[in-house]
Structure 1
Amino acid sequence: MFINRLLPNSFKGFVLMKKRLILINEATFEELFSFKLSLLNVFVAGTLGAIFLITGTTLLIAFTPLREYIPGYASSQLKKEATILALKTDSLTLALEKNETYLKGIQKVLTGKLEHVTFNKDSILVQTHPTIPIEKMQASDEELVLRKEVNAKEESQKKPL
């Protein structure tokens, strides 16, 4: 009989049953503070605490320089340097192509394999400029749709309210 009074009849009763948490100073047996808790209160508080902890950690890492210590994230300085190096590489490649074309033209002149044509450095440099096919210069359907959307958005922003 006595045991039946202590145990709840259902899971709901077990979860909502109030229990007391008491903190006592062991040396003086003085009660420091006490709480009335239920299992549901503890679960909700633990879940909210975990959510805040995860959210805070994520925000701390995402918006501070700490993200540079995570593998896969590059620093902003490294990205700037990579961009500068890519631009320098492109310009050096273009200069190298121009020099190679110029040297091939001079080689033809020196070996005598050049027909009777006037030698002009500018004509050689024009040959090194890459020509883009007309098909690649025409806008795709997706680009045309995007252009219309942007123009419509700009026009709607220009109109006074």
Structure 2
Amino acid sequence: MAKQKKKKVITRLRRTYRLVIMNDQTFEEKWSYRLTGLNVLTAVSGIAMVLIFIGIMLISFTPLKRLLPEYPDAEFHEQMIQNAVRLDSIEHELMVRDQYIRNLRHILAGDSRTKIDDVPDTVELYGNLNMEPSKEDSVLRRRVKLEQQASLLGQQFSNNKDNIKKMTFFAPVKGLISNYFNYGEGHYGIDIATEKSSSVHAALPGTVISSFWSLETGYSLQIQHPNNLVSVYKHNESLLKEQGDLVVAGEVVAFVGNTGEFTTGPHLHFELWHNGLPVNPQDYIDFE
């Protein structure tokens, strides 16, 4: 069956036809041409290939290619070249900087074999260059800042160690004082009512000596400051610091909460101890 259909197609392609042009009025034959279906198919295919070839040549070697939607224009192409040049310059500058730092390290270390190396012409790619500060760098910066603040506090205490009013305190929170300092009743701090989840700040630079949760005071934090000064933060929602962490004045160490038994709402219970004795924080800090 399939062979019969194939033979019929071949037979039709080989049939001879005559293309005639004649006068419509006199029916006089003006021009005629004999052709077959195979000739017509071959001619059409050849013309299509020629047109496709001409179209490809026009798009490849003439400005017509800019009419294509995804083809970059001349301005974009020039910008790409400029970006490549700038990237190469940045890589070269990074190489020079790294070489300078290496040489400087040798000089500071007193290495007598130090020599200034020439920057090579070929520059390695810095695709994985990490410009974020490392953990060690952050700890060093915090320690230096802490030492600077501690030095300032030490100078203040050197004049009069018993007078802490000269110190610059950072208010842990701002709010309404709901319960005042009362040494006789055993309330060794003050309660500052404020919005829940508000930031709790370190009053002075120091070291966290205790970070814990208890049934009575909830999440609590104690910070040791220079010259036997300790600040206490109770009833927090959560703590951001652990025992041994260094903090600077004003750094967020916790969030205001309502944890523990002895609390009636979101507030911070703040205590200040000097030389082992509680002092009234209101004498040194403005909480409003």
Q: TM-score range by the shorter chain?
A: 0.3 to 0.5
Which one has a larger percent strand, Structure 1 or Structure 2? 2
> Greater RCO between the two (CA within 8 Å, min separation 6)?
2
TM-score of the aligned structures, taking structure 2 as reference length? 0.28
TM-score of the aligned structures, taking structure 1 as reference length? 0.46
